[in-house]
Structure 1
């Protein structure tokens, strides 16, 4: 090969490398595609979170779910796309799925003779993808669903769960709203903190995370109010609270507010609907440790000519 030809070959190779290099550098600067956050179009992953023994010898299997979307909520009616197997497909699971993760959302009771190899499977099909949670009684999966293995204090040992009743209408006509008036009784334990928990020394200011310059904008997360407990944030409610969620229904419901401090044994909120249909609204009273829940069935009718 002549010197001139060799020079042309090396020049061509160098030009090719320089042409590809900017694209490679740009690719390396892009965020990990597996770290993308999606507004919609993703599926829902059911989760088996463990089992616990009941006083009568039966077992409670606890389930939650992860809606991988940050904005899209969805209804998945009980049936081929939302079912338990074996046995009855309806085990009280939700049919309306709020965004992101919901831990120990419900439990399914199985008999004492269930055995250690028999499985209970919850399947969800969303956007053509089927995900499953497989539950079985294996020793390593036994959990403490209330205290999480924490050591109980003398006050905790005396604590009794709250009790609640709900007074509301069972039928409304759009655009009417629904008033949910709950009466909640509790023993006042555990004693609520009088002020928010103070951060540890050196942790007074939370970290600030800055995205890469070319990182896609993170979608707005439409918050779903969990049914549990006191506010976990520094300014969250302390003591006895009542939370509302849509358990079953064709669309999201706006609760104003969704989490209420119980005052003088009462907690009132207003539910606003956007779509007619049959709904199950779940209210959960929580004293910080123990809970009581009530389901309210509501028929929402389309607007009609009242005159």
Structure 2
């Protein structure tokens, strides 16, 4: 019993001494010792976007794209440019200026001011002199406070053949805007035609198209020529000619109403007589365009032969300039 009491007393003394030591560690000579700061809280890092994740609905960028370059018969070079709007539900009208510029020598090189959803190939081209060499231009598009800049030039590995695919021998469709007008094929080169319009009144936009299709390594079986008046195109059809109209430039916030935006090409033997070398498929596609506000517009039509729409071939793009005049009671520019 005596040993238990001694042990208990010793434990009490030890606890008392220990408490005094701990108190002394916290306060010595009346001065309080600063305790260590707790480690800082590290903010959570947002998870990186998964490469195959869907594009944001809104708030993302528009990225210009260098699609390649080719040499012209006169020794000059043409640079082909497109873009990708990375939003799912946000289109943009960006006037030429600080947020839509090509420099030096710009800011206007004929680039679009309207940026629709998705990837757009062969939107415009610019021609540089034969001695351009290693010089560079910079193309900047800034939407949602996200400036995107690329370099335009003649880099090795970017030379393309927009008038003939080397693997299939395929060539782009040939297009006419008027029965007696010139033929257009391949990338756009400025305004092919200038029209006048009145706000609220539609104008008719016919396209005469012929295409011969691939000539070598053609995996698809030959098709039987369509009857007169038959529709010879449709989305998803191999070898079908597709036509699509877009607003290229124009007053900000104003849309151009195309009826329809993707007109069907109707087989017609008469347009074949309009071309120097008519192809296997020839027809006419017609749409109308209506403008809600006066101003200068550029319209873009892209015609694909249905083989494969990519940055090189096989499609043709034409640009039309329209001067829309105000009518009584219509909106001005």
Q: Output the TM-score relative to the length of structure 1.
A: 0.64
CA drift at 1:145: 2.5
Contact 1:122 1:134 in 2 (8 A): yes
Distance 2:113 2:293 in 1: 15
Within the candidate set 253, 258, 265, 1:255 is matched to: 258
Contact 2:57 2:87 in 1 (8 A): yes
Distance 2:106 2:194 in 1: 30
Distance 1:140 1:252 in 2: 38
More divergent stretch after superposition (161-170 vs 256-265): 161-170
Within the candidate set 57, 62, 73, 1:55 is matched to: 73
Distance 1:63 1:47 in 2: 6
Q: 1:303 to 1:66 in 2, by over 3 A?
A: farther
CA drift at 1:144: 1.9
Distance 2:84 2:133 in 1: 28
Contact 1:162 1:290 in 2 (8 A): no
Aligned residue in 1 for 2:20: none
Contact 2:203 2:290 in 1 (8 A): no
Distance 1:53 1:232 in 2: 32
CA drift at 1:181: 3.1
CA drift at 1:137: 1.6
Counterpart of 2:157 in 1: which secondary structure?
Answer: helix
Instruction: Work out whether 1:93 is the aligned partner of 2:111.
Output: yes
Contact 2:83 2:120 in 1 (8 A): yes
Q: 1:127 to 1:150 in 2, by over 3 A?
A: same
Q: 1:49 to 1:231 in 2, by over 3 A?
A: farther
Aligned residue in 2 for 1:8: none
Output aligned runs, 1:214-225, within 5 Å. none
Within the candidate set 172, 176, 183, 1:163 is matched to: 176
Gaps of 5+ in 2: 1-45, 180-192, 215-219, 225-232, 272-283, 307-313
CA drift at 1:77: 0.8
Aligned residue in 2 for 1:70: 88
Aligned residue in 2 for 1:243: 244
Instruction: Work out whether 1:180 is the aligned partner of 2:210.
Output: no
CA drift at 1:290: 5.4
Counterpart of 1:304 in 2: which secondary structure?
Answer: coil
Distance 1:253 1:47 in 2: 25
Aligned residue in 2 for 1:297: 322
Counterpart of 2:67 in 1: which secondary structure?
Answer: strand
Distance 1:35 1:241 in 2: 29
Distance 1:150 1:177 in 2: 46
Aligned residue in 2 for 1:278: 296
Q: 1:144 to 1:231 in 2, by over 3 A?
A: farther
The aligned length equals 235
Distance 2:70 2:163 in 1: 10
Aligned residue in 2 for 1:43: 61
Within the candidate set 113, 116, 132, 2:149 is matched to: 132
Distance 1:44 1:81 in 2: 11
Instruction: Work out whether 1:112 is the aligned partner of 2:127.
Output: no
CA drift at 1:247: 0.4
Gaps of 5+ in 1: 1-26, 196-229
CA drift at 1:253: 2.6
Distance 2:64 2:265 in 1: 32
Counterpart of 1:165 in 2: which secondary structure?
Answer: coil
Q: 1:122 to 1:111 in 2, by over 3 A?
A: same
Distance 2:317 2:66 in 1: 22
Contact 1:168 1:181 in 2 (8 A): no
